[in-house]
Structure 1
Amino acid sequence: LSMGFSALQSWIFNECLARAIRDKNSRSGVQTVDIKTKTGDLAFPIRANQEVESWKRCQYHLIGPGQPAIAEGSICEQMRSWEDRLLEILEINRDSLEKRYLRSAFLKSHQRPIWCQPELTMENVRKDSLNNGKLCYDVNFSLPRGAYATMAMKALHLRIKEK
């Protein structure tokens, strides 16, 4: 049950952020690309304007007890608005998320970065066996646990393994 609560929190976070990014795309021309995952499409900006760049400094509290008030005009306000819409679609009352159903299974709000840019390392530069005259290399990076992109990275990795 705890895993189910955690999965719901993560799905709501991912879906709200994807919708906020798509909303920015339609209103301010931020170019995006959608990556299909088993739980829905995640949107990622291709080119970020200054507002999107400012998201790197933002932390968002996941839905649940103790979720604090948020600053007006911020990406967090947009996320909260999408959160309210999603809860309405799912027919979940926000008050029901405040309850403790079992001693060991309950929601708790904690911060998650909205935008993170991983440190990249490139290694193993070699001739590309598929593209004659080109080079290829390995890129290594890590993302914080629960980061928005981890679902997309898992989906991409699984697709690569299947081929």
Structure 2
Amino acid sequence: MQYKIKVKPEDFYVKEIISLPIKDKGQYGVFILKKRGWNTVDILKRIGKNLGIPFRNISYGGKKDRHALTEQFITIKNIKKKILFKNDNYLLQPVGFSEEPMDPRHIIGNEFKIVIRSISQKAEEFLYSPLQSIEKYGFINYFDDQRFGSFDPKQGFIGEKIIKGHYNGALKIYLTHIYPEDKKEARERKNFLFENWGNWQKCLSVAKTQMENFAFNHLIENSKDYLTILRKIPKEEMSMFFSAYQSFLWNETVRRLLVTLLSDEEIIVHKGIVGDYIFFNEIDKEKFGYLVKLQIPTASSKLKMPDEITEKIYKNILNEREVKPSMFNLKKIRQAFFKSVKRNILVKPESFKYTIEDDEVYENRSKITLSFFLPRGSYATMLIKRIFAKKPQRRQ
């Protein structure tokens, strides 16, 4: 079933709900940032530059999509005035002060209003069943595709390469992986680096970024010292690489658990970047009772699975990938680490409402308008994937 999201920025509206105490005075100014057409980091760098404020003084809880209309809270350290700052695509609105900076732990969740467009009118009647299933059961709380931007289909995960000590491979992915948003020049340069990897002089001849220049100059003098370069990767980037690998392992564990629990008739799927997402439309009371209480931790050296079923599945995944739990305890990379966090397998949206009507943008097509609240860390795009999941041609 075909569909389109984010046709207009206002088709994907996200409002952050937080627990940060807001006061009349404090070391940190608290602001609501409303934006469209910008990702969070880029717009904050622009605002900081315009206000003469170092980026390190600006804190936020989460990154919001550039292809959306979003509201989130930020804090600015040591700002005394309630500055209103705006242009056509963003608004920085003061709301008070705080004794502490904004942080992910202050996010309770997000309110969403989403329009899904260009749906065949013949498919309308088939949409009520998944929508009602979401109301009844919720949906599987997978990490969604946007978590896997650094995954390279040919080369794999940077995080996995690092824990295995394959530093050459990790650095190669870091400097040659092509992201969807990369422009033509960057794509061509990265392809050249990939094809000429190991010929450091050739690689240096096309180097453009500060990291590329440092890396290839260093490798010309120290041809096998990849670790020194990896240690230069910023903490936030390295944390994202580790999180991507943890998310993959978590998703794969849940996928295999569902294949174990569900019959072929119960399984429905939606395609993903790193494996299909498995869902169910109906499930018996006992299986649902098991899943709704189950929490799976993300990978680390001291991870403990909740029961024998999940323990066996997780061990099989690690064995297949030739990974041992002790490998997650890194000794040579220190700017980031693998922290285990428990995550619910099922998440149920609160205040879930929907309407299906004619699409005013696409002639003779339908649209769904959704509104709901999700707790921190859950993906609205995964809820959409659940709606449009379908029977697989064969068992996954």
Same topology, TM > 0.5: yes
Count the aligned residue pairs: 144
Looking at CA atoms only, which structure, 1 or 2, has the larger radius of gyration?
Answer: 2
Contact between 1:34 and 1:42, CA under 8 Å: does it hold in 2? yes
Contact between 2:297 and 2:341, CA under 8 Å: does it hold in 1? yes
Counterpart of 1:74 in structure 2 is none
- Provide Cα deviations, 1:56-95, integer angstroms capped at 9, x if missing partner: 1222221213423534xxxxx3222221111111111121
Paired amino acid for 1:63? A
- Structure 1: state its 5+ residue gaps: 72-76, 157-163
The reply on whether 1:58 has 2:294 as its aligned counterpart is: yes
Where relative contact order (Cα < 8 A, 6+ residues apart) is larger, the structure is 1
Gap change, CA 1:12 and 1:146, over 3 Å in 2: farther
The range that moved more, 34-43 or 137-146, is 137-146
- Provide Cα deviations, 1:77-122, integer angstroms capped at 9, x if missing partner: 3222221111111111121113344222110101111111112432
Report the Cα distance in structure 2 between the residues aligned to 1:127 and 1:153, rounded to whole angstroms: 19
The answer to which structure has the higher strand fraction is 2
Paired amino acid for 1:43? I
TM-score by length of 1: 0.72
Aligned counterparts, 1:3-152, within 5 A: 3-26=240-263, 31-54=266-289, 55-68=291-304, 70-71=306-307, 77-122=308-353, 125=355, 127-129=357-359, 130=364, 137-147=368-378, 152=382
Q: CA deviation at 1:155?
A: 6.3
- Structure 2: state its 5+ residue gaps: 1-237, 387-396
Q: CA deviation at 1:128?
A: 2.4
Gap change, CA 1:101 and 1:65, over 3 Å in 2: same
Report the Cα distance in structure 2 between the residues aligned to 1:120 and 1:24, rounded to whole angstroms: 29
Report the Cα distance in structure 1 between the residues aligned to 2:309 and 2:381, rounded to whole angstroms: 21
The SS at the match of 1:82 is: helix
Report the Cα distance in structure 1 between the residues aligned to 2:282 and 2:252, rounded to whole angstroms: 20
TM-score by length of 2: 0.32
Contact between 2:329 and 2:338, CA under 8 Å: does it hold in 1? yes
Contact between 1:37 and 1:152, CA under 8 Å: does it hold in 2? no
Report the Cα distance in structure 2 between the residues aligned to 1:90 and 1:9, rounded to whole angstroms: 13
Report the Cα distance in structure 1 between the residues aligned to 2:381 and 2:272, rounded to whole angstroms: 7
Cα-Cα RMSD: 2.9
Report the Cα distance in structure 2 between the residues aligned to 1:102 and 1:68, rounded to whole angstroms: 23
Gap change, CA 1:103 and 1:52, over 3 Å in 2: same
Report the Cα distance in structure 1 between the residues aligned to 2:246 and 2:267, rounded to whole angstroms: 24
Paired amino acid for 2:244? A
Gap change, CA 1:99 and 1:113, over 3 Å in 2: same
Q: How many percent of aligned residue pairs carry the same amino acid?
A: 24
Counterpart of 1:161 in structure 2 is none
The SS at the match of 1:141 is: strand
Gap change, CA 1:40 and 1:65, over 3 Å in 2: same
Q: CA deviation at 1:143?
A: 3.5
